[in-house]
Amino acid sequence: MNAFSVLFRKLLKIVRSPVLPEKDYYHRRERRASRAEAVRPDSPNLDRRLQLVRERLGESGDLVTRAFSSGNGRVRLALLYVDGMADRKLLSDNVLRPIQDDNPLLRHYKELRPDNALQLIEELVVNVSETATAPDLTQALRRVLSGDTALLVDGEKKILILGTRSWSMRAVTEPETESAVRGPREGFTETLRVNTSLLRRRIRHEKLRLETMRAGRRTTSDIVLVYIADLVNPQVLAEVRQRIAAIDTDAILESGYIEEFIEDAPWCVFPQIEHTERVDKASAAILEGRIIILTDNTPIALIVPTFFFQFLQAAEDYYERPFIGIALRMLRLIVMNVALILPAAYVAIITFHQEMLPTPLLLSIAAAREGVPMPAVAEALLMEATFEVLREAGVRLPKTVGQAVSIVGGLVVGDAAIRAGLVSPSMVIVVATTAIATFAIPAFNAAISLRLLRFPLIILAGAMGLYGVMFGLLTILIQLAGLQSFGVPYLTPLAHGTALDAMKTFARPPWWLALWRPKALGTPDRRRQAGNMRFRPAPPEERELTHEETGDKDAGKR
């Protein structure tokens, strides 16, 4: 008995693995990293240093080392930068030229010596806006590999870092995956600095914080947490920091890597962190008290904490009139249910609950199914699978070829299959409706999860009818209800939230009514704006532009 329960407890421990990685893990990693750096050789001697650089970086063609002397010939220096990432014109005009200048009237020509070179050059000589000093070669190399330039001075241990990052980048364009009819056209780009500037431009508040972290042993990717210091819940912020700090992996190439490392339930089908390319959407999230995680080299920003129903909302809801917002949100809720349940419900109804069909429909479906060689479950699974194949085939192909695929797949094969009696027309309608419904969900990652869950639901429907479907839905619900995203229940605001927040799932309030930030986020400052802002028009007689004033003297006589 005891042994059993111990075993059971152990099993449970494995199942319910702790939400947070152990704190120790982070420190262990830090210690290891610092040990590794401590043994790296370094030398103030310029030649030795350049040799060390060559040893460490190898014969990389894009690494430029440019040794030179100062204008007065007293100091030997070297520039170290990566070609293509540093601004060469800036270097030659604003760094090389002033240092090498041999005009004797210049102060630095007179005073420059090896012992004061670093300080003097930084303060006086170079015309570069961003400078820093690195304590050793390792730190300097890290900056060099990010596009900055290191200025090595012979005999000086410290290294001057010049901010010369400049590389060709993609322009800020409209995000293709989240286009909107109304709203700004700017989307994030691959360049972190551009992205942060895009956010800064929207939120010009002194409390906006951009907190830089790093992850990736080999990529050392920059990760920036963006939040407003007095809106974000400190617990959530600490949690996010800790989880990101605990990432110790080779590479972070996309924010998807981070998402998987920091999400609460890695084994859950549903996405637990929303992502966006839209700057306005990210800004809105920040203003609600959420945290944006920007990752270098990807335009996809993560939003935490995430509620499930965020996936059903689009930026446009807030720009169009509130009624449209209401209609769209209701529509998306329906669409979500259709995308998840429709094929399963159809299978359940035509194999178990035929009574639910109106008699004429029952007769026509029965007639259409005459001669279909497989049971409805198999038919549904086959059609759904076919649809997935078609979609997948279309996604990767160039647009022109992709259309051909969908025409051949959808029209030709579909029509032939019906004519051949392989599938029934009603099933084609159901599958096609479901497919369209799936595409109507704004968030692709949520839609794809629903698509995945459709298959077990169809099987359950084929086995147990609507009872099976309900069984499946309840298992999904247990999952969802048990989930938390950074301490906030995933089903907020429908479960757990206030009534006011819950209503926002179905309707977006007019802006003059949107007084509060979501309560479940635990922001220190919930109030969003002043109350009583609805515009109330003056009585007609006090209106400004009456007929007399616009010169329409005949208005009264008509």
Partner 1 sequence: MLEKGRISPRQAGELLFMTIFATVILFVPSIMAEKAGHDAWLAAFAGALAGLPTLALVVRLGRRHPGQTIFQYSETILGRLFGKLAGLAYVWFFLHWGAVVVREYGDFLTAAFMPATPLSMFNFTLVLLAAWAVVAGLETIARMNEFLIFLVVSSLLAILALSVANWDTAFLQPVLAEGFGPVLRGALVSAGWHAEIVTMAVLLPYLTRPQRAFASGAAAVLASGFILTLGVVAALSVFGPDLVAVFKFALHYFVHTIDIADFLTRFEAVVMAIWVAGVFIKTSVIYYCAALGLGQVLGLAEYRPVVLPLGVVMATLSVTLFANVSELSFFLSNVWPAYSITLFTLGLPLLLLAGSYVRGRPEDNKQAENLNE
Partner 2 sequence: MSKYLLLFLAAGLLSLTGCWSRAEIDKLAIVRCLAVDYLPQASEPYLVTLSVARPAARPAGDGGGGGGGGGGAALTFSGTGTTLDLALQNAALSMPRHAYFTHNEVVLIGEEAARRGLQETIDLVLRFHQLRLTNFLLLVPGIAHDVLLADSRLEAALPQEILGLLEQDRLSSEGDPLEIYHVLRQSVTEGQEAHLAVLQLVPPPEQALQEIAAEKQPAADRGDGAGAGQQAGAAPPPEVLSIDGTAVFRDEKLAGFLTRRETRGYLLLAGRVRRGEVSIPDPLVPDKSVNIGILRGKSKITPRLEAGRLSFLVEAELEGDILSQESQTNLSTTEMLERLGAGKADALKKEMEQTLRSLQEMGADIVGFGTVLRRRNPQAFRALAGRWPQVFSTLQVEIRVKAHIRRTGLLSRPAPLLPQQ
Q: Which residues of the chain form contacts with partner 1 (CB under 8 A)?
A: 5, 8-9, 12, 349, 352-353, 355-356, 358, 465-467, 469-471, 473-475, 477-478, 481-482, 489, 491, 494-496
CB 425 within 8 A of CB 448: no
What does the DSSP 8-state code read for residue 20?
Answer: S
* 489 is a contact residue toward partner 2 (CB under 8 A): no
Q: What is the contact mask toward partner 2 in residues 438 to 477, using x (rule: CB under 8 A)?
A: ------------------x--xx-xxxx--x--xx--x--
CB of 11: closest distance to partner 1 in angstroms? 9
Q: Which of 479, 480, 512, 519 binds partner 2 (CB under 8 A)?
A: 479
Residue with tokens 């042994």: 3
Nearer Cβ to partner 2, position 36 or 361? 361
Write 527-534 long-range contacts (CB < 8 A, 24+). 534/510
Residue type for position 295: T
Nearer to partner 2, 247 or 461 (CB): 461
Q: Which is nearer to partner 1, 85 or 483 (CB)?
A: 483
**Phi then psi dihedrals of residue 213, to 5 deg:** -130, 170
- Give the nearest distance from C-beta 9 to partner 1 in angstroms: 6
Cβ nearer to partner 1, comparing 387 with 490? 490
Instruction: Closer to partner 2 by CB, 220 or 479: give it.
Output: 479
Q: Which is nearer to partner 1, 401 or 495 (CB)?
A: 495
Q: Which does 26 bind (CB under 5 to 8 A by kind): partner 1, partner 2, none?
A: none
Q: Can residue 372 be called a binding residue for partner 2 (CB under 8 A)?
A: yes
In terms of CB distance, is 64 or 464 closer to partner 2? 464
Query: Toward partner 2, which CB reaches closer, 372 or 448?
Result: 372
End-to-end CA distance of the chain: 97
Angle, helices 279-288/192-202, rounded to nearest 10 degrees: 60
- Pick the stretch among 73-81, 199-207, 368-376, 434-442 that binds partner 2 (CB under 8 A): 368-376
CB 274 within 8 A of CB 305: no
Does residue 369 belong to the site contacting partner 2 (CB under 8 A)?
yes
Contact criterion met (CB below 8 Å) for 293 and 470: no
Q: Which residues pair with 134 in a beta bridge?
A: 159
| Interface characters, 4-43, with partner 2 (x: CB under 8 A) | -------x--xx----------------------------
Residue 244 and residue 277 in contact, taking contact as beta carbons nearer than 8 Å: no
**In what helix (H) or strand (E) does residue 294 lie, and over which residues does it extend?**
strand 291-295
Distance set, CA 476 to CA 38, 448, 471, 501 (Å): 51, 15, 9, 23
From the CB of residue 210, how many other CB atoms can be counted at a distance below 10 Å?
Answer: 15
Q: Which does 463 bind (CB under 5 to 8 A by kind): partner 1, partner 2, none?
A: partner 2
For residues 127 and 534, give the distance between their C-alpha atoms in angstroms, rounded to a whole number.
53
Nearer to partner 1, 3 or 545 (CB): 3
Q: Which runs of consecutive H residues, i.e. helices, occur in 410-443?
A: 414-419, 425-439
Considering only residues 250 to 269 of the shown chain, the ones binding partner 2 according to CB under 8 A are 267
Q: Does 376 sit near partner 2 (CB under 8 A)? A: yes
Min separation Cβ 5 and partner 1, Å? 5
Alpha carbon distance 500, 520 (integer Å): 11
Shortest distance, CB of residue 464 to partner 1, whole angstroms?
Answer: 8
Closest CA to 90 of 166, 38, 155, 16: 166
| Contacts with 278 (C-beta within 8 Å, 6 or more apart), sequence order | 175, 178, 180, 183, 184, 187, 188, 315
Q: Which of 350, 417, 437, 441 binds partner 2 (CB under 8 A)?
A: 350
Smallest separation (angstroms) from partner 2 to the CB of 425: 11
Least CB distance to partner 1 at residue 473 (A): 8
Number of residues binding to partner 2, judged by CB under 8 A: 35
**Chosen from partner 1, partner 2, none, partner binding at 302 (C-beta under 5 to 8 Å by type):** none
Only one residue has tokens 């790296």, namely 40
Nearer to partner 2, 314 or 349 (CB): 349
Structure tokens at 454: 């459709």
Strand 76-82: give its sheet, edge to edge: 63-69, 76-82, 149-153, 159-162, 131-134
Any contact of residue 351 with partner 2 (CB under 8 A)?
yes
**Alpha carbon of residue 55 to chain centroid:** 38
In the numeric block, the tokens 């919930």 are attached to 526
Interface with partner 2 by CB under 8 A: which residues?
A: 11, 14-15, 267, 350-352, 354-355, 359, 362-372, 375-376, 456, 459-460, 462-465, 468, 471-472, 475, 479
